[in-house]
């Protein structure tokens, strides 16, 4: 199965994950869960792209931090009363306490990473900054990056402008390499994938005369 990480991992750490993942596929212990091997590693990063770094931060950092805060609220520290708890207000009041410092993340002129001085930042910056960040994940062997923009109170118009700028100024470089890289990976993995599938038990045959019952009508 493909591996999708939601932990905002840095490129350097992602490299070790990628190496472990593909080493597992090539190992004798690899037995696919299904009848195909989807060899891909994806990471998630917040995104807001603008030619002016400060504007990118103003448009995107609160939404990015709310995304991270809300995940932790529901899965870690939050005490939630459905229909009552205002998670956005809770975020505004407590973000610093849980490591979502706006002032730290808003530092300009630095190389982007999943975190900036231990505070979530991701791909919020200029096309040049984001291009360098994406290159780092590409060099680490990450197959896909999934960008989060539609979070918190990020404006629809800002998100569309960000995506259009990204598509025009950043993605062409990586698109030109993507197909060749995918083909090279498929050829490299083909013997390991074939061996892994051979270790998997064949599909079970349905009993003779088996039918799927009709769905009851209500």
Q: Return d(Cα 176, Cα 174) in angstroms, integer.
A: 5
Which residue carries 């003779």 as its tokens? 208
Q: 103 in helix, strand or coil? A: helix
> How confident is the model over 67-77, as pLDDT tens digits?
999 999 999 99
Would you say 79 and 177 are in contact if contact means Cβ atoms under 8 Å apart? no
**pLDDT on residue 218:** 66
> How confident is the model over 10-45, as pLDDT tens digits?
999 999 999 999 999 999 999 998 999 999 999 999
50: Cβ contacts below 8 Å, ≥ 6 apart: 56, 59, 125, 126, 161, 162, 165
**pTM score above 0.85:** yes
């Amino acid at each position: 199965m493909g591996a999708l990480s939601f932990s905002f991992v840095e490129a350097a750490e992602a490299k070790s994950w990628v190496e472990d993942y593909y080493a597992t596929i090539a190992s004798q212990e690899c037995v696919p869960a299904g009848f195909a091997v989807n060899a891909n590693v994806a990471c998630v990063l917040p995104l807001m792209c603008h030619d002016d770094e400060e504007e990118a931060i103003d448009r995107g950092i609160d939404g990015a931090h709310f995304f991270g805060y809300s995940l932790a609220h529901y899965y870690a520290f939050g005490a939630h009363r459905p229909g009552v708890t205002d998670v956005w207000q809770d975020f505004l009041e407590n973000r610093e306490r849980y490591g979502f410092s706006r002032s730290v993340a808003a530092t300009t002129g630095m190389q982007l990473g999943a975190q900036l001085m231990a505070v979530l930042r991701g791909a919020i910056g200029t096309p040049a900054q984001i291009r360098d960040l994406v290159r780092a994940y590409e060099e680490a062997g990450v197959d896909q990056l999934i960008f989060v923009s539609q979070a918190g109170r990020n404006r629809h118009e800002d998100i569309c402008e960000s995506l259009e700028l990204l598509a025009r100024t950043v993605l062409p470089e990586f698109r030109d390499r993507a197909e060749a890289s995918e083909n090279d990976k498929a050829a490299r993995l083909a013997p390991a994938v074939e061996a892994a599938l051979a270790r998997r038990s064949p599909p079970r045959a349905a009993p003779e005369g088996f039918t799927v019952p009709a769905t009851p009508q209500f």
